[in-house]
Amino acid sequence: MDLIFEGILKAFYLLITFDPEVMGITLLSLQVSGTATFISLLIGISIGTLVALAEFPGRRFVVSLINTGMGLPPVVVGLFVTIFLWRSGPLGFLGILYTPAAMILAQAIIATPIVMGITLAAIQALPKNLRLQILALGATRLQMVWILIKEAKLPLLAGVMAGFGGVISEVGASIMVGGNIKGYSRVLTTATVMETSRGNFDVAIALGIILLLLAYLINLILTQVQQRERPR
Amino acid sequence: MNGSPSILEVKDLQVTKAGTLVLDIPALMIEEGEILSLIGPNGAGKTTLLQTLARLIKPSAGEFFFKGRQASPNLSDLEYRRRVAMVFQEPLLFDTTVFENVASGLKIRGMQGPEIRKIVTENLEQFGISHLLHRSARKISGGEAQRVALARSFATRPEVLLLDEPFSSLDPPTRESLLADLESILRRTKTTTVMATHDRMEALRFSDRVAVMNQGRILQVGPPAEVMNQPLDEFVASFVGVETILPGRVIKKNGGSFVASIMGYEVEAVGEVELGESVVFCIRPENVTLAVHPSKESSSARNFFSGKILKIIPMGLYHKVQLHCGFPLVAYVTGHSLENLALTEGKEVVAYFKATSIHVVKKKGGQV
């Protein structure tokens, strides 16, 4: 019991004194996952909206593919990103393996299908005639798509949160392509794994608390979104 | 009707959905400033016609003219859609304030600032919803939402307004007050309007012309009184409230009137027909009078038949009496006469109606 109690005490000390190492790790985590989520939004929302609005043969197949992608195992993503970025791999010339850039790439690959799938569902859940109503108000195609995305903003926000929540708590891909290099590519999850294995439970608990706080924040926003109702 | 300027005109318009022809309109002209109602049962093609008139559905064939300009070569769909407006069955409001909703059509057109505010305020006032200005569209009632939807479409000053049963989901009092407001606004602004409804009373009170639709076709179009009293065929007749529709054959002619045999009974009517011709008699229930004993008054009517009351259905202000006089006949009576005559189901009565009150429809193709 002492172990846990002391660990928690020390963790709070690290947090309230803004321990530079813990803060550095947290900041990098937010930077990497934030950038990855941003990239996934650009790709996920545009393709998700396109698939939701377009009619083409094989659409069902594409939708099922996106839905499968929402549960992409991070270690598999890590494996393939590593292979691609390996010195002799197809993207080896970039020389970004074991850098934050590689982590952003891997996390963006994990988050994109999540954002895409939620965008697809959100746009499809809008009333069927809404599209016609927007066009009837004199909108161009582009204006219509923009208004639809604005109408789906709450479920889309859920998509943002789910994507961000997915990558900030992910460890497999980050450790594989980032390498957990101190002060360079060490993020909350990879640091927690390492500190735990070393027996530095105080630091691990401090990092864990930060992760939990982030998870709580994300769920708070998601719950707010779910409790809203649609206009008539 | 000829000579008045037409704002919208379609020719040989056809819409095909998944290989089936769902709309087939050889010709339709909509005059500037008129209110045209489309009535018909569900699936008659009213919505498809409206959405085609809004150029939201691409017709598979036909020509389309707006103020003499043909769409699409001379008039782009976008430009056209910015000059008309459509209100759907559901309000379809945006997830924002009432103000932003009413402003949306203007913002789409690139209008900004004080001008928007002025137009939005005017339109909210016009529909009696100024107090909702800053409310969220999520937090208003169904009737209010439909008013916002109407204000939103009026804000763009449409040259043609297309309404697709915008009142069908409202309760009667809400609907009544909205109808009254809308009617006065339409008359004041002289907005050309095409309105779909499945409520014929709504259509009759409102419109300059009524078009009766069924199975993607317009069966009859004309002023309400004409469609009500001179339906072109049995479907139109039943849809505009003719309760008794009797097929028969002409057996005697004398001057302007003639006698047809209806299930073996001789019924006299007025009209130009040929001997042996197949006809359909349409008898409106309000034109049938009931009595307990044949009286002097009843003898002036050429047609009188004794029969038995099958059923009495209360309809609010009057009662609908279903009779069997050898052929089925429906009459409307007031609650007062129901009591006076002591009418009950199973009672024997005399029913009479004038020869001139029968609307005669000639069967297409002559023989049936």
pLDDT in tens, B117-175: 999 999 999 999 999 999 999 889 999 999 999 999 999 999 999 999 988 888 888 88
For an interface test with A, the pick among B108, B120, B139, B157 (most A C-beta atoms closer than 10 Å) comes out as B108
Query: In this complex, which of B88, B93, B109 lies closest to A138 when CB atoms are compared?
Result: B109
Distances (CA, A) of B331 to A142, B265, B272, B334: 58, 18, 26, 10
Distances (CA, A) of A156 to A41, A46, A49, A221, B100: 9, 12, 11, 12, 21
Q: DSSP for B222-256?
A: E-HHHHHHS-SSHHHHHHTT--EEEEEEEEEEETT
Query: In this complex, which of A133, A150, A230 lies closest to B138 when CB atoms are compared?
Result: A230
- Distance CA(A66)–CA(A73), nearest Å, equals 14
Distances (CA, A) of B129 to B132, B298, B301, B354: 6, 55, 54, 50
Quick check: B296 pLDDT over 60? no
Instruction: Return the pLDDT at B367.
Output: 36
Instruction: Return the pLDDT at B366.
Output: 40
Two tokens at A24?
């550095």
Two tokens at B206?
């409102």
Chain-chain contact of A129 with B92 (C-beta, under 8 angstroms): yes
Q: Return the residue of A nearest to B56 by Cα.
A: A132
Note the ipTM here.
Answer: 0.81
**Within an 8 Å CB–CB cutoff, is residue B105 touching chain A?**
yes
Mean of pLDDT over chain B = 89
- Distance CA(B55)–CA(B13), nearest Å, equals 12
Closest Cα in chain B, distance from residue A176 (Å): 43
Mean pLDDT of A206-217: 88
Chain-chain contact of B54 with A136 (C-beta, under 8 angstroms): yes
Chain-chain contact of A232 with B51 (C-beta, under 8 angstroms): no
Query: In this complex, which of B93, B138, B142 lies closest to A229 when CB atoms are compared?
Result: B138
pLDDT digits (tens, 9 = 90+) for A151-197: 998 888 888 889 999 999 999 999 999 999 999 999 999 999 999 99
Chain-chain contact of B94 with A231 (C-beta, under 8 angstroms): yes
Two tokens at B146?
């439909």
Q: DSSP for A59-79?
A: HHHHHHHHHHHTT--HHHHHH
Q: DSSP for B10-77?
A: EEEEEEEETTEEEEEEEEEEEETT-EEEEE--TTSSHHHHHHHHTTSS--SEEEEEETTEEETTTB-H
Distant-in-sequence, close-in-space partners of B83: CB < 8 Å, separation ≥ 6: B66, B158, B159, B160
Cβ A130 vs Cβ A151: under 8 Å: yes
Chain-chain contact of A138 with B86 (C-beta, under 8 angstroms): no
Interface of A with B (CB under 8 A): 127, 129-130, 132-133, 135-140, 143, 147, 150-151, 153-154, 228-232
pTM: 0.81
For an interface test with A, the pick among B47, B95, B154 (most A C-beta atoms closer than 10 Å) comes out as B95
